[in-house]
Structure 1
Amino acid sequence: MLRKTVENNMLLHKRRSWFFILLLLALFTASCQPAPPTSQVNSSEPSIIPSDRDRVFGIIFPMAFPAYEKITENAEETAKAANIRLLVSAPDEANLEQQIRIMESMIKQKVDGIAIAPVNPEALAPVINKAVEQGIPVICFETDSPGSKRLSYIGSDNYETGRQLGKATDLLLNGKGMVLVGTGMPEMDSLKERLEGLLNYLNDETEIEVLEVRYNDGREDLAITEQEEMINAHPHFNAFLSLDFVSSSASILIWKAYGLNRHVLSIGATPKIEEALLNGQVTSIISQYENQWGRKIIEALMKVSEGEIIPEMIDTGILKLEKGPQDDQR
């Protein structure tokens, strides 16, 4: 009888032990489950409403160059506020084949939108069309590709920008004198239009002589060589006119090295060029409000990805910067 009672107690003890073990396992499993998702919006962020899904936008610059870093920062700030991830890429130097490969890669990754500054708008039109046909909206900035299926162009009228550079030179030299001109890739439409606007203004409105025009193909080392050769060949020039970021950057280095006191007038406002303006190394800057491009790129791609229609051209305007009063041509 005693043995049977002991056996019954042992059995009851085992059952209670298993019960507690199972209970502990259940509690442990429940504690490991992830908490339900929560959504918080910081009211201090920009007014863009975060998306309910992850989107990826691509930005392709014509080359890797410090002038584009500020545009990238501006785009990243705007994208971060909308929970958008950016893929930013550029050829090491202005290069058509590399831009095409970057575009093809982004198409394969099925990004939600692409913004590109094409080094050769005609040659890049087929790959731009390919992206659009696969449902990836494409916009251009700085340089347009109107013959493609791109949805919009962000930037300024480059022909008028060239004319404004000519006007600033006219006012500075009182309609007379000799100038040298530096620019980038001859096949870039934006640069062709700027040069055309500049030359037409100087030929039609002034007696200023353009001694020489040199191209740097997007390479700062070549820009330095070309400018040095022009300066040596035409030592009595009155001003150097830059149509692109690379020529402007090279001129700052040359003016420091040579101690030149001739005028430099540039198209494109970057932190480096603006600093040179304050230091007296650059006389005037014709800006296309480049500091707005990054934000406008992201805003345009967001609208398109949400089914909205955007203008064929988003004009950022033209502004002349000088150390004195500014002449706003917007």
Structure 2
Amino acid sequence: MTDKKWFLCIGLVMALFFYLFLQFVQQSRQIQHIVNQLKQDKKLENRHIVLIVQELGHPYWQMVANGAIEAAKADNISIEIVGPVRNSVEEQIKLLEKAILSKVDAIIVQGLNDEKFTPIINKAMERGIPTLTIDTDAPNSKRLAYVGTDNMSAGKTLGQLVVQKSGGTGAIGVIIGSESAENQLLRLNGLKTVVSEYKGLRIVDVRASNISMMVAIQQATEMLQKHPDISVMVGTSATDALGILQAMKSLNRNDIAVIGFDNLPETLDAIRIGEIEASVVQQPYWMGATSVHLLRDYFRGQSLPSIQFAEVEILDKTDNNKGMLP
């Protein structure tokens, strides 16, 4: 064998050895990554997170909780769902304080009132408890991330629907879920921003339902009795439009365009038969699931985006393309 052939053979052997070595290193890294992932996932079994909902049993928050529970199950994380029996900011604050004292591994909570909630969210973060805000942000706090709707934008969408359904003229009555919840105030401000651009439109009354359909019925009834010229009614939380409908029926009013929020089964039924003109639909299940998945990623050492906006959709009787109507 000539020297040239000899060196060529040695070169081929070395190249093959180098290739096999690289393959070995790559496979070793992949195996180590899998082992590390398994170790991390094993640690997740001992993680205990708390989701503080606005009201236990409320249909909207039940969808949020369902998403969080399913995600926690998939991620092998323990989750506890707590909340007041009736909507109460004070009770939510007590539950948030209790979660901090219990030294849970993470908290998911609404940032309902910036002045009241921000200091407590900051306390949780300072004590090493990662805290996510859901549905309503606390942007001035040290919260880890926000998962939910862009509520100002959603309010503007409500306003655009009012313009579309009213033709740009008429008196408007509004039922909001709460006078203190930042998400409700942002939706109201978004609605007002659009309405203010039309001289023929005016908001004549705004009242709070305290996210209770019974209260929404009472408030809408009183509003319609005081302002019989109302031609459009808007609800900014899940059961408000349903309460408005009941008030209209009790007063034998069928001349009012109703615009609602979210996609409870009863809301979908009302849209299907034309009692509700349209609804701005959030993604509560997605919010709950995404919040838990983000905490899983955080526990694994990954950095998180500070905001995860959920998309909203407009649902009306003609919207059949996604099969959302029964």
Q: Which residue of 2 aligns with 1:282?
A: 276
Which one-letter code corresponds to 1:184 in the other structure? Answer: G
Which structure 2 residue ranges, 5 or more long, are not aligned?
A: 1-37
Question: How far is 1:181 from its partner?
Answer: 0.5
Q: Which residue of 1 aligns with 2:42?
A: 52
Q: Which residue of 2 aligns with 1:39?
A: none
Q: Could you tell me how far apart the structure 2 residues matched to 1:288 and 1:303 are? A: 24
Q: Which residue of 1 aligns with 2:63?
A: 70
Q: Could you tell me how far apart the structure 2 residues matched to 1:291 and 1:235 are? A: 38
Q: Could you tell me how far apart the structure 1 residues matched to 2:90 and 2:72 are? A: 28
Q: Could you tell me how far apart the structure 2 residues matched to 1:49 and 1:142 are? A: 32
Q: Deviations over 1:262-287 (max 9, x none)?
A: 22101223333223222332110112
Q: Which secondary structure state, in structure 2, belongs to the residue aligned with residue 63 of structure 1?
A: coil
Q: Answer yes or no: is 1:303 the counterpart of 2:297.
A: yes
Decide which of 312, 321, 326 is 2:315's aligned counterpart. 321
Decide which of 77, 88, 96 is 1:95's aligned counterpart. 88
Q: How many residues in Structure 1 have an aligned counterpart in Structure 2?
A: 281
Q: Which residue of 2 aligns with 1:218?
A: 211
Q: Could you tell me how far apart the structure 1 residues matched to 2:250 and 2:50 are? A: 38
Whether contact under 8 Å (2:148, 2:310) holds in the other structure is yes
Q: Which secondary structure state, in structure 2, belongs to the residue aligned with residue 88 of structure 1?
A: strand
Q: Could you tell me how far apart the structure 1 residues matched to 2:170 and 2:109 are? A: 38
Which one-letter code corresponds to 1:154 in the other structure? Answer: V
Q: Which residue of 2 aligns with 1:22?
A: none
Question: How far is 1:96 from its partner?
Answer: 2.1
Change (3 A) 1:85 1:178: same
Question: How far is 1:256 from its partner?
Answer: 4.8
Decide which of 57, 70, 74 is 1:81's aligned counterpart. 74
Larger radius of gyration: 1
Q: Answer yes or no: is 1:140 the counterpart of 2:130.
A: no
Q: Could you tell me how far apart the structure 2 residues matched to 1:326 and 1:149 are? A: 42
Q: Answer yes or no: is 1:248 the counterpart of 2:241.
A: yes
Q: Deviations over 1:40-70 (max 9, x none)?
A: xxxxxxxx99921322211111223222112
Q: Which residue of 1 aligns with 2:106?
A: 113
Change (3 A) 1:112 1:269: same
Q: Could you tell me how far apart the structure 1 residues matched to 2:186 and 2:160 are? A: 16
Q: Which residue of 1 aligns with 2:20?
A: none
Q: Which residue of 1 aligns with 2:188?
A: 195
Which one-letter code corresponds to 1:102 in the other structure? Answer: L
CA RMSD of superposed structures (Å): 2.3
Q: Answer yes or no: is 1:123 the counterpart of 2:113.
A: no
In the TM superposition, what are the counterparts of 1:257-272 in structure 2 within 5 Å?
257-258=250-251, 260-261=253-254, 262-272=256-266
Normalising to structure 2: TM-score of the pair? 0.80
Whether contact under 8 Å (1:288, 1:319) holds in the other structure is yes
Q: Could you tell me how far apart the structure 2 residues matched to 1:222 and 1:319 are? A: 26
Q: Could you tell me how far apart the structure 2 residues matched to 1:49 and 1:191 are? A: 42
Q: Deviations over 1:145-189 (max 9, x none)?
A: 011110111112211111111101111111112211011222211
Decide which of 171, 184, 187 is 1:178's aligned counterpart. 171
Which one-letter code corresponds to 1:190 in the other structure? Answer: N
Which structure 1 residue ranges, 5 or more long, are not aligned?
A: 1-47
Change (3 A) 1:77 1:85: same
Which one-letter code corresponds to 1:325 in the other structure? Answer: D
Whether contact under 8 Å (2:175, 2:240) holds in the other structure is yes
Percent identical: 26
Q: Could you tell me how far apart the structure 1 residues matched to 2:266 and 2:78 are? A: 28
Q: Which secondary structure state, in structure 2, belongs to the residue aligned with residue 140 of structure 1?
A: strand
Q: Which secondary structure state, in structure 2, belongs to the residue aligned with residue 238 of structure 1?
A: strand
Q: Could you tell me how far apart the structure 1 residues matched to 2:128 and 2:195 are? A: 45
